[in-house]
């Protein structure tokens, strides 16, 4: 028996972008949440800091908000168990996400950074370190990533690249707005 309504338009509307440059990583996320063709909220905060002071991690998420918060809680526990080992915590989370029957149903993606490592974590069991010091997820992710990669050829700092790339994505993707949350973390 299928629980989901095939006619439900689905939630859309996230673009998360991370740019690493000059000893820091900047993660930017737009604020739009859409249901079908309707904007439900324009000020959602999809980029957050987790972990204790001194070992903070910046996380941006795309997908179902409740699912993402479940994953953030799990990631925090993994980070507590393996302090200072972001890659290991992410691999452990991805392994659980792929094998646990409850977690397998979660629909979200994460960009995670401690300022040194920059990782994309998916429910397919992937923990990917992106090339070119740019990572993006969500409905406008490809637009933001393309813009950021082009801007990496300039001398702009990471935050300026992220903001300009997100503005370009917002001008193209109807599920992305210009209301940004931006977090910086030093490497």
Which of 37-41, 69-73, 103-107, 168-172 is modeled with the greatest confidence?
A: 168-172
Task: Write down all domains in the chain, each with its CATH number in brackets.
Answer: 12-172 (3.60.20.10)
What does the alpha-carbon distance between residue 87 and residue 84 come to, in Å, rounded to a whole number? 9
Q: pLDDT confidence of 103, banded at 50, 70, 90?
A: confident
Judged against a pLDDT cut of 60, whether residue 8 lies above it is answered with no
Q: pLDDT confidence of 1, banded at 50, 70, 90?
A: very low
User: Which pLDDT belongs to residue 5?
Assistant: 45
Q: pLDDT confidence of 9, banded at 50, 70, 90?
A: very low
Tally of CA atoms within 13 A in the half-sphere of 79 that contains its CB: 22
What does the alpha-carbon distance between residue 115 and residue 24 come to, in Å, rounded to a whole number? 6
Judged against a pLDDT cut of 80, whether residue 56 lies above it is answered with yes
Write down the pTM of the prediction: 0.91
Least Cα distance to 89 among 81, 99, 100 occurs for 81
Supply the residues annotated as catalytic: 14
- The predicted-structure confidence for 83-101, as pLDDT tens digits, reads as follows 999 999 999 999 988 888 8
What does the alpha-carbon distance between residue 186 and residue 122 come to, in Å, rounded to a whole number? 24
User: Which pLDDT belongs to residue 54?
Assistant: 84
């Amino acid at each position: 028996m299928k629980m989901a309504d095939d006619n439900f338009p689905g939630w859309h509307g996230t673009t998360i972008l991370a740019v690493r440059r000059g000893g820091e990583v900047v993660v930017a996320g737009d604020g739009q949440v859409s249901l079908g063709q309707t904007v439900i909220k324009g000020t959602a905060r999809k980029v957050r800091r987790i972990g204790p002071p001194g070992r903070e991690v910046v996380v941006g998420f795309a997908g179902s908000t409740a699912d993402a918060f479940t994953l953030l809680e799990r990631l925090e526990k993994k980070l507590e168990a393996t302090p200072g080992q972001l890659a290991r915590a992410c691999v452990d989370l991805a392994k659980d996400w792929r094998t646990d029957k409850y977690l397998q149903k979660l629909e979200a993606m994460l960009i995670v950074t401690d300022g040194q490592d920059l990782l994309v974590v998916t429910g397919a069991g992937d923990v990917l370190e992106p090339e070119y010091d740019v990572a993006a997820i969500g409905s406008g992710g490809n637009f933001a990533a393309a813009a950021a990669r082009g801007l990496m050829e300039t001398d702009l700092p990471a935050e300026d690249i992220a903001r300009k790339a997100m503005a370009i994505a917002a001008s193209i993707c109807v599920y992305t707005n210009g209301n940004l949350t931006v977090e910086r973390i030093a490497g």
